[in-house]
């Protein structure tokens, strides 16, 4: 009787082992054929490099190729590059490269890598600014003899009563701070009258890319 129970126990263990082996053989990797998972395709290495010297220029890139852009940046001053690009360019990399020196306050370089995904005219636009300071575009209004205002990025129109002549440039990008002018009557039926407490012209960068 003891031998019979022993043999039954051995047989049970053997069956469990066989079932485990069978189940392992039926399980496949996510690849479907039991082979190794394919390695993701590495990003295309940049074939061209652009910098501040390329500002405002028209360049050419082949479809599917990549190019890099490097601009000086010093975040310790509060300023940084705010970059935008057309839909036909895909951003592959966006990183700040710190300076090689240990000098306090030293600036570094901002690096972007783009891939040309669509043919035609593409573009990259950048503004070097402090992100917490409101920005807008100076616009000339040909009304009541003509005047300059600021179309804010916040969707509001501002009518500065103390806009210096150097900033009266249609299309000029500016960062500014203002306060309400109060009960001031003007002949211009446009915008909100304000007094500027701070204004500066923004440093901009534009790269025009023809993808072929």
pLDDT of the residue at 144: 81
What is residue 125's DSSP assignment?
Answer: E
**DSSP 3-state of 147:** strand
Residue with tokens 């072929």: 212
User: What tens-digit pLDDT sequence spans the chain (212 residues)?
Assistant: 444 554 444 445 444 444 554 454 444 444 445 555 555 555 668 889 999 999 999 999 999 999 999 999 999 999 999 999 999 999 999 999 999 888 888 899 999 999 999 999 999 999 999 999 999 999 999 988 899 999 999 999 999 999 999 999 999 999 999 999 988 888 888 999 999 999 999 999 999 999 99
Structural domains of the chain sorted by starting position, each given as residue range(s) with its CATH number in brackets: 48-131+205-211 (2.60.40.2020), 135-202 (no CATH)
Backbone angles phi, psi at 139, to 5 degrees: -130, 145
What is residue 83's DSSP assignment?
Answer: E
Q: Which residues, including other chains, have CB under 8 Å from residue 150's CB and lie 6 or more apart?
A: 136, 137, 138, 139, 157, 158, 160, 163, 174, 176, 191
């Amino acid at each position: 009787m003891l031998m019979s129970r022993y043999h039954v126990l051995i047989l049970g263990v053997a069956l469990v082992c066989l079932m485990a082996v069978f189940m392992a053989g039926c399980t496949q990797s996510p690849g479907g054929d039991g082979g190794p998972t394919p390695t993701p395709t590495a990003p295309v290495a940049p074939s061209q490099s652009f910098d501040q010297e390329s500002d405002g220029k028209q360049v050419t890139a082949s479809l599917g190729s990549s190019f890099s852009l490097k601009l000086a940046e010093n975040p310790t001053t509060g300023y940084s590059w705010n970059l935008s690009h057309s839909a036909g360019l895909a951003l592959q990399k966006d990183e700040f490269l710190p300076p090689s020196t240990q000098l306090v306050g030293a600036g570094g370089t901002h690096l972007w890598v783009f891939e040309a995904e669509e043919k035609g005219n593409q573009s990259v636009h950048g503004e070097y600014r402090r992100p917490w300071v409101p920005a807008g575009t100076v616009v000339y209004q040909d009304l009541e003899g003509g005047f300059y205002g600021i179309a804010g990025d916040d969707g509001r129109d501002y009518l500065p009563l103390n806009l210096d002549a150097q900033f009266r440039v249609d299309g000029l990008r500016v960062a500014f701070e203002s306060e309400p002018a109060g009960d001031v009557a003007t002949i211009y039926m446009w915008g909100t009258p304000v007094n500027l407490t701070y204004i500066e012209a923004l440093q901009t960068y534009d790269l025009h890319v023809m993808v072929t």
